[in-house]
């Protein structure tokens, strides 16, 4: 067995990465303390892909950067030596990370005007495809129907889709998907509604479980079939984890089981890893997708890079251990303020750009995400593991080629000497304080 570890540390404001080989010894049974058990033969869910969002805010930010910097950012996210993302999420019409609210049609029967997408979103998905290892799959998500279809006559402040407009909204969504396909993009995923339980200052729309079920079953799915879009996978909920299990139980029954591909979730209400585990237990065929998460500057300090990066690793490890298949981060790159955002809802991105100077910074969160996305291949299986301490978090995977990958998070400032125990061997790993590590094991 060969074991190689890649570590990222953050000390005195400096990010350092190191790769080294680890000592491997036979498991004699003597090592009992500081052990992490890994079981490559205990297979759990399949890991499908990693991705991030390209919103109008992302496109606007990239457009202000010099061409070489713009190209490098896309390589750093989608390239073989970057995060190796293969998926993009973006909004149907505007979201909070748009320059202003907009909609492709503002009255019944009007043709769709995708000028916003054509200016700031579609070109950058194509540019990402030019450096991506695989064909990029696009996920489309509506934040709100057009105002004329809602009972509050506004894109923002929640409101509801008028019942008599269900069919028209379903057709609108399908026409949007077709418009993206006509632009040479592969729309592979669609969620019913972003954050259907939230009344926001920005684009939002409320859906109860019964309303989401009815719209999906009686209007959206028939519209997808009518337009030849039955290949597009459909996801419900797309909101925080604390109500994920509740919403799945409300929406998924015998009438919808065959038309729901997965459940999407966010992280803004806390860990709730048990909610994912419940869905995985009772609905084992559903794809569990983390579809959005970011560091909100209204809640977290922009200077606390270590705390913010740890939040990513803590959540990713917990989600993977609870059954997650797919990971989408939110905006791949924003300006130095954490925008633009028409609702002033500024957030961090893994890459922040100084559009005046034409420079960019890869934040610590970028490197923490990379400890997963750069090493876990599509088609990998999550495998069982146990840890020795609450201060150490771990998740393990078996790639399609048989290599085992273990991601370890040390949330303390003290160095930790750990021992990975698997397949009759013990691998000694020296984990620096305030660090994350990915250990690759091959035979």
User: The domain that contains 405 carries what CATH number?
Assistant: 2.60.40.1180
> Same domain, yes or no, for 306 and 403?
no
Query: For residues 101 and 156, is the Cβ–Cβ distance under 8 A?
Result: yes
H or E element, residue 278: helix 273-282
Helix (H) or strand (E) holding 238: strand 233-240
Contacts of 166 by beta carbon, 8 Å cutoff, 6+ apart? 214, 215, 218, 219
Residue-number span of the structural domain to which 41 is assigned: 2-45+382-442
Residue 303 scores a pLDDT above 90: no
CA distance 243 to 341: 27
Query: Closest by alpha carbon to 365, among 399, 331, 388, 406?
Result: 331
Q: Quick check: helix, strand or coil at residue 105?
A: coil
Q: The sheet that has 381-386: what strands, in order across it? A: 14-21, 2-11, 435-442, 404-410, 392-398, 381-386, 35-46, 416-422, 425-431, 23-26
Tens digits of per-residue pLDDT, 10-61? 988 899 999 999 999 999 999 999 999 999 999 999 999 999 999 999 999 9
Q: Which two tokens stand for residue 399?
A: 């790639």
Distance between CA atoms of residues 330 and 325, nearest Å? 17
Residue 161 belongs to domain with CATH number: 3.20.20.80
Question: Average pLDDT, stretch 113-121?
Answer: 98
Q: Are residues 330 and 300 in the same domain?
A: yes
Residues 57 and 27 in one domain: no
Q: Are residues 202 and 332 in the same domain?
A: yes
Are 37 and 109 in a shared domain? Answer: no
Supply the pLDDT for residue 302: 81
The better pLDDT of the pair 301, 280 is held by 280
My answer on whether 120 and 21 are in the same domain is: no
Q: 351 and 226, same structural domain?
A: yes
Query: Do residues 180 and 304 share a domain?
Result: yes
Using 50, 70 and 90 to split pLDDT, how confident is the model at 126? very high
The pLDDT tens digits for 321-370 are 999 999 999 999 999 999 999 999 999 999 999 999 999 999 999 999 99
Do 410 and 275 lie in a common domain? no
Residue at token pair 């029967």: 109
- The predicted model gives 138-146 an average pLDDT of 98
**pLDDT grade, residue 133 (50/70/90)?**
confident
pLDDT digits (tens, 9 = 90+) for 379-437: 999 999 999 999 999 999 999 999 999 999 999 999 999 999 999 999 999 999 999 99
Domain tally, the chain: 2
Under 8 Å between Cβ of 96 and 343: yes
Say whether both 358 and 426 belong to one domain. Answer: no
Q: How many CB atoms lie within 10 A of CB 299?
A: 8
- What pLDDT is recorded for position 301? 85
Residue 430: its pLDDT value, please? 96
Task: Confirm if 392 and 407 have CB atoms less than 8 A apart.
Answer: no
- Asked if residue 438 and residue 415 are part of one domain, the reply reads yes
Domain boundary among 340, 375, 410: 375
Residue 313 has pLDDT above 90, yes or no: yes
Same domain, yes or no: 113 and 29: no
Q: Are 266 and 288 in contact (CB under 8 A)?
A: no
- Of 324, 342, 375, the last residue of a domain is 375
Mean pLDDT of the chain: 97
pLDDT confidence tier of residue 115, bands split at 50, 70 and 90: very high
Whole-structure pTM value: 0.97
- The alpha carbon of 177 is separated from its chain's Cα centroid by a whole number of angstroms, namely 20
DSSP code for 261: -
């Amino acid at each position: 067995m060969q074991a190689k570890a890649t570590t990222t540390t953050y000390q005195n404001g400096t990010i350092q990465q190191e790769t080294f080989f680890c000592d491997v010894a036979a498991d004699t049974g003597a090592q009992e303390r500081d052990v992490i058990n890994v079981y490559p033969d205990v297979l759990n869910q399949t890991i499908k892909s990693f991705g991030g969002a390209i919103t109008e805010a992302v496109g606007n930010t990239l457009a202000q950067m010099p061409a070489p910097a713009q190209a490098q950012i896309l390589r750093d996210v989608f390239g073989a030596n970057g995060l190796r993302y293969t998926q993009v999420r973006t909004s149907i019409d505007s979201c909070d990370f748009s320059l202003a609210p907009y909609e492709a049609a503002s009255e019944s029967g009007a043709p769709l005007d995708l000028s916003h997408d054509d200016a700031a979103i579609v070109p950058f998905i194509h540019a990402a495809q030019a450096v991506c290892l695989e064909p990029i799959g696009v996920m489309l998500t509506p934040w709100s129907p057009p105002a004329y279809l809602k009972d509050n006559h506004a894109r923002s402040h929640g409101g509801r889709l008028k019942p008599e407009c269900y069919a028209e909204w379903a057709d609108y969504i399908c026409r949007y998907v077709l418009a993206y396909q006509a632009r040479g993009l592969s729309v592979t995923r669609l969620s019913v509604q972003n954050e259907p339980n939230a009344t926001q200052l920005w684009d939002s729309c409320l859906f109860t479980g019964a309303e989401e079920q009815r719209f999906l079953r009686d209007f959206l799915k028939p519209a997808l079939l009518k337009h030849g879009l039955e290949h597009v996978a459909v996801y419900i909920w797309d909101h925080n984890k604390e109500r994920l299990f509740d919403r799945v139980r409300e929406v998924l029954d015998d009438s919808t089981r065959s038309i729901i591909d997965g459940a999407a979730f966010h992280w803004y209400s806390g860990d709730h890893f048990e909610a994912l585990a419940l869905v995985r237990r009772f609905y084992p065929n559903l794809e569990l997708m983390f579809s959005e998460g970011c560091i909100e500057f209204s809640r977290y300090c922009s200077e606390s890079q270590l705390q913010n990066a740890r939040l990513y690793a803590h959540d990713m490890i917990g989600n993977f251990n609870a059954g997650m298949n797919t990971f989408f981060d939110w905006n791949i790159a924003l300006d130095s303020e954490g925008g633009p955002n028409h609702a002033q809802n500024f957030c961090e991105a893994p890459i922040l750009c100084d559009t005046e100077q034409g420079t960019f910074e890869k934040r610590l969160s970028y490197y923490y995400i990379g400890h997963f996305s750069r090493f876990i291949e599509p088609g990998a299986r999550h495998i069982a593991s146990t840890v020795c301490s609450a201060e150490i978090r771990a998740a393990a995977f078996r790639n399609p080629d048989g290599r085992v990958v273990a991601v370890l998070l040390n949330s303390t400032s003290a160095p930790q000497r750990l021992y990975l125990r698997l397949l009759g061997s013990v691998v000694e790993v020296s984990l620096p304080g305030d660090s994350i590590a990915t250990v690759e094991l091959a035979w």
